[in-house]
Structure 1
Amino acid sequence: MPDVSIVIPFYNDPYVAEAVESALAQTHRSIEIIVVDDGSVRHAEKLADYKGRIHYIGQVNGGTASALNTGFRLASGAYIAWLSSDDKLHPEKIERQFRAMSAAGAWIGHTAFSVIDGGGKVTERCVSPPGEDYSAFYRAFDGANPVNGCTVMMRKELYTWLGGFNESLPYTHDLDFWFRAMLAGFPFHYLPEPLTFYRRHGDMGTLRHRDAIAAEAKATYARYSVSWRRFLAQIGVQAR
């Protein structure tokens, strides 16, 4: 059983080979790489050279949450890391985060990240919202999502216990999962090192579906509003 499974959901993404290469280049060797092809009709041929080095799973298009659930359910690692197919991992990402989370006994954690453009050039070296201030971190969830999904690592047991990602939420399945984890008593461990390269480019879904994302996010925040404010009061954090 590997220490960590890296799950890469993929749909018509020309950057997917770069994501896979960054996963294969990890200094921590006890890993498995699972690529879930969510019904792609373009760029799947880019994965042909990785046969035997990755687990390739094809499925009918069901959205990112569906692809993540497929990969996470099949993962055999004690921990699971999520990597979007247009992003990349720092070579020491898994090693550093696995070591830090294991030492802390953490069930879910995230890190800082760097921003790259479509050509892979770093445009921001260390994005760390809201830093190591945990009060600010919790308050940020009142109308924002301070956790970049591709910086996250979690125990497989936590994923199973919480029941996976909500597939009825095309865009905020990650935010919904973070709320459920924290409300269930699993705080985020934070490693303030930029260990993921988050790509901003013209074809990214957050730009193409901006209005739909905003509407779904508003509904997600509203759904958790009462329980979240009650939670903040219990841990002594002043809501905004």
Structure 2
Amino acid sequence: MPSYNYGRFISDALESLRAQTYTNWECIIVDDGSKDNTKEVVAGYVKMDERIIYIQQENKGVSAARNAALKKARGEYFQLLDADDMLKPDKLALHVKLLDASPHIDLVYSNALIFEDNGEAEHNFRLFKLPGSTQVSGKNELIIDNLLADNFFLTPSVIFRRKVYEQVGGFVEGLHGLEDWNFWYRAALLGFEFYYDTTVEAQGIIRAHYTSTARKHDKMLLGRIQARELVLNNIRELQKRGKLSLNPMYVNKIINQHKALLNKDKIKYYIFFKDKFFQGLESVFLYGYFSGNPHSALYDGAYWIKERIKKSNLK
């Protein structure tokens, strides 16, 4: 559980853990340089529950915090939980039972509920689905194709085996977002099997609030660009080392797909957020080339130029 200045939320996350019907867990909290009351809040839980472990580090980002926890973890199964999110009471029990009974499955994910934190005691939960996402079970091409554009599940809905972490490695540090997508994609490239669990009682719970990272659109877009560039490097490296059990023609196809999506994001980032029109126009050309759809690329370029001009006129 990484936490940065989430002292006002972390009690809910910890209470959702302590309410789990499966009790053989440990929770490793990594305080990533918080300047609020996180340490004081967690200290009370550490005293009352020996399963809760607290680590402090200087601010290094969510990936570094997760990596510090994963290195210390003793369990066979890993559940990620951000300090502002929660789990339904039977989540761990159901997913541990499923993994125990299904040695071929490496990662289980479920649906997630979301609620807007508006300061009220009562929460209005609704089922949350990422735009354009589909829920699938399987491995190799099926998972790789579905993960191409973005995540199709959210962090608290996932539980995975220790060997996934050991073979994939940790989360990439220094990313501004989508470090989780990068991790899942690398797992898919290595052939790990994903399973979609429809059980309602096994859902994670997402808190939406004004400080959520997902609301910082320019940083999220930069994170998407960085994460995809690293995935491309990872594909090439695995291909070079003969570690991909995928058809070479399929590998070349997904490389071009990533290059197309990478440059599509760069068009918006360079033109709309950074006023770097020449880099943006270069990305228009590359998006059109790798996607095979120059008309769509020209439309995107024109659209973001128009939006940037509109943004400038509002200042």
TM range, smaller chain: 0.7 to 0.9
Q: Which runs of 5+ in 1 are unaligned?
A: 1-7
Distance 1:50 1:214, change over 3 A: same
Structure 1 counterpart of 2:145, from 132, 139, 145: 139
Pairwise CA distance, 1:26? 0.6
Pairwise CA distance, 1:131? 2.6
* Greater Cα offset, 195-204 or 156-165: 156-165
Question: For residue 75 of structure 2, what is the amino acid of its counterpart?
Answer: G
Between the aligned partners of 1:130 and 1:198, the Cα distance in structure 2 is: 19
Between the aligned partners of 1:231 and 1:181, the Cα distance in structure 2 is: 18
Question: For residue 111 of structure 1, what is the amino acid of its counterpart?
Answer: S
Residue-by-residue CA offset, 1:56-108 (whole Å, 9 max, x unaligned): 11111110000000111101111110001110100000011111122222222
More helix by share: 2
Contact 1:132 1:192 in 2 (8 A): no
Between the aligned partners of 2:153 and 2:220, the Cα distance in structure 1 is: 16
Contact 1:132 1:190 in 2 (8 A): yes
Does residue 1:115 correspond to 2:122, yes or no? no
* Residue of structure 1 in register with 2:96 after alignment: 98
* Residue of structure 1 in register with 2:178 after alignment: 172
Matches within 5 A, 1:46-61: 46-52=41-47, 53=49, 54-61=52-59
Pairwise CA distance, 1:29? 1.0
Between the aligned partners of 1:181 and 1:73, the Cα distance in structure 2 is: 18
Q: Which runs of 5+ in 2 are unaligned?
A: 237-245, 258-290, 292-315
Contact 1:10 1:84 in 2 (8 A): yes
Question: For residue 125 of structure 1, what is the amino acid of its counterpart?
Answer: L
* Greater Cα offset, 104-113 or 114-123: 114-123
Residue-by-residue CA offset, 1:172-210 (whole Å, 9 max, x unaligned): 221111111010110212212341111111111110x21
Distance 1:212 1:58, change over 3 A: same
* Greater Cα offset, 26-35 or 44-53: 44-53
* Residue of structure 1 in register with 2:15 after alignment: 21
Contact 2:111 2:127 in 1 (8 A): no
Pairwise CA distance, 1:153? 1.0
Larger Rg: 2
* Residue of structure 2 in register with 1:201 after alignment: 209
Identity of aligned residues (%): 26
Does residue 1:212 correspond to 2:216, yes or no? no
Distance 1:103 1:147, change over 3 A: same
Between the aligned partners of 1:162 and 1:153, the Cα distance in structure 2 is: 15
Contact 2:214 2:220 in 1 (8 A): yes
Between the aligned partners of 2:110 and 2:227, the Cα distance in structure 1 is: 23
Structure 1 counterpart of 2:74, from 56, 62, 76: 76
Between the aligned partners of 1:16 and 1:116, the Cα distance in structure 2 is: 16
* Residue of structure 2 in register with 1:37 after alignment: 31
Between the aligned partners of 1:222 and 1:42, the Cα distance in structure 2 is: 34
Pairwise CA distance, 1:138? 4.5
Question: For residue 176 of structure 1, what is the amino acid of its counterpart?
Answer: N
Question: For residue 217 of structure 2, what is the amino acid of its counterpart?
Answer: R
Question: For residue 49 of structure 1, what is the amino acid of its counterpart?
Answer: G
* Greater Cα offset, 115-124 or 71-80: 115-124
Calculate the aligned-residue CA RMSD, in Å.
Answer: 2.7
Pairwise CA distance, 1:232? 9.6
Distance 1:197 1:231, change over 3 A: farther
Between the aligned partners of 2:34 and 2:248, the Cα distance in structure 1 is: 41
* Residue of structure 2 in register with 1:182 after alignment: 188
* Greater Cα offset, 152-161 or 87-96: 152-161
Contact 1:112 1:126 in 2 (8 A): yes
* Residue of structure 2 in register with 1:162 after alignment: 168
TM-score normalised by length of structure 1 = 0.84
Pairwise CA distance, 1:223? 4.6
Which one scores higher on RCO, CA 8 angstroms, separation ≥ 6? 1
Between the aligned partners of 2:11 and 2:206, the Cα distance in structure 1 is: 15
TM-score normalised by length of structure 2 = 0.65
Pairwise CA distance, 1:136? 7.6
